[in-house]
Each structure stands twice: as C-alpha cells, then as structure tokens.
Amino acid sequence: MPPRVIVLNGGSSSGKSTVARCLQAILPDPWLTFGTDTLVDAMPGGGTGIDFAVGGEVIVGEGFRTLEAAWIQGIAAMARAGAGVIVDEVFLGGAASQRRWRDALDGLPVLWVAVRCDGDVAARREAARGDRIAGMAVRQADLVHRGVRYDFEVDTTCTGPEACARAIAGEVISRTPGPSPPPSRRT
C-alpha cells in the first residue's frame, strides 16, 4: 500500500518544514502537514510541561506528554479517515519518540524519513531565523536520530528542500502500485 503518512524526523532548523511544504506542492494528491511547532504553539501558557533551557535543551514533562498523546492520536485518526498526512517531528527521545508514533499509527502505511543536516549548518540557519534558542540545532542534529529506524533518508546540508522533496516523493510513488497489466491472451 502507498504511504498515507510521511513522518519527517530531524533536528531544529534541519529543513523539515520547508521539505514538507515542497512535498505538498509536488505529491499527486493533497496532503496535510502538521509539525511539532504547531503542537507547541497550540499549548496553553505556563504549566504545559515543556521548557526551553539556555543552550538549546528542551525539557519535556508529563503535562506536555498528555497533550502530545492526544495530538498524535488525532493525526492518526485523520490518516485513518483517508487524509494523507505529513508529520514534521523532532524525536527528542530518539527510539522512544518513534515508538509513540508507531503505536498510534499501527496498521497505517507509513514512510519514516530522516531529515539530516550537519549541526554547524543547522546552527547557522537557526541564527538566521532568529526565532529559536541558540544551541538547539547543534544539540538536536544527532540526538533525534539515535535508535530511530527509517525507510528513507535525505540530507539538507548541501541539498535543497525541493530536491529532497522530489526524492521523498519518488519513494512514495515507487511504493504506490500501478494499474494491473491486462491479462495475456493465448491463441
């Protein structure tokens, strides 16, 4: 079955959001995109269980995990209802983070994609953005990939988001069955 969910996992400023928007533009069917930033932005202020420390450390508590679990289940429900979904995620817990998503997406065809970027390059992007805590990109560049299993990988260090999206789209299309060949005729 062709993927109904594409999970893009990479560190801060690795280019996941831009790759996701490019994917939306080139995939043959409409796809929804949801990112971890969307979840964080939707959280109520104070007491949500997520803190951003100096040096780029992200500290996640139980309050965040409770809301995150509901969010993950909601995204899985949209995919089960027939929507194609691109998830722009940061697996701070590596394999444990992927496990939460795997459990929620059980039974759905998923393409797991690593979005890699050299930490120094991501740090320059982070500084240029101005909306991230300094150090987050370097801290997450390798951390988010530890113990995570992927179907496909792209590296945005030297490859632009459009090329990465085309490569991912090619993988999605290669997993999409084509029409059955006509039956052969015997004479």
Residues designated catalytic = 37
| Residue-by-residue DSSP string for 22-72 | HHHHHSSS-EEEEEHHHHHHHSPSSSSSEEE-TTS-EEE-HHHHHHHHHHH
- Three-class SS string for 124-139? HHHHHHCCCCCCHHHH
Burial of 179 (0-12, 13-18, 19+ CB in 10 A): exposed
Amino acid at 163: A
DSSP symbol at 115: E
DSSP tag of 76: H
φ and ψ at residue 88, rounded to 5 degrees = -105, 100
Alpha carbon distance 154, 127 (integer Å): 22
Does residue 174 sit in helix, strand or coil? helix
